[in-house]
Amino acid sequence: MLQLRLRIAPHRLTITAHGSLTAATAHLLSKTVVGALRRYPTPVLAIDLSEVTSIDPIGEAALRDCDYEAQRRGILLTLLHAKREAPRRSWVRAYPTGTICRRALQSR
């Protein structure tokens, strides 16, 4: 199960995820990001992964989709509090807290 919380601040939108970011739940993150960016235009989108317990390849793809959507709109996307002990793919593990996703994808 994945729970998402949206926090709106001046010049920043933060989405906090709780639970597993897997094939069964990844679509929720993508839908939430697209909906939030449509409704609340912002220069910075942060996705807080501090409470994410696991990320599978589909969850990783959802994060890439979020980055694509942010780039398309000219928005800076950052990942916050990615725990190293949570099982995840190298794409997330290689970039610590606050990393700009655009750089992570371009360095592949």
pLDDT digits (tens, 9 = 90+) for 53-90: 989 899 989 999 999 999 999 999 999 886 654 444 44
Give me the pLDDT at residue 92, please.
Answer: 52
CB atoms within 10 A of CB 2: 21
Tokens of 76: 């800076």
Mean pLDDT estimate for the chain: 81
How far is 2 from 25, CA to CA, in rounded Å?
6
Mean pLDDT of 10-38: 94
| Domains of the chain with bracketed CATH | 2-106 (3.30.750.24)
Give me the pLDDT at residue 8, please.
Answer: 94
pLDDT at 104 over 70: no
Q: Which pLDDT band, with edges at 50, 70 and 90, does 97 fall under? A: very low
pLDDT at 105 over 50: no
Contact 4, 17 (CB under 8 A): yes
Give me the pLDDT at residue 81, please.
Answer: 80
pLDDT at 47 over 50: yes
Mean pLDDT of 37-43: 92
Tokens of 64: 């890439």
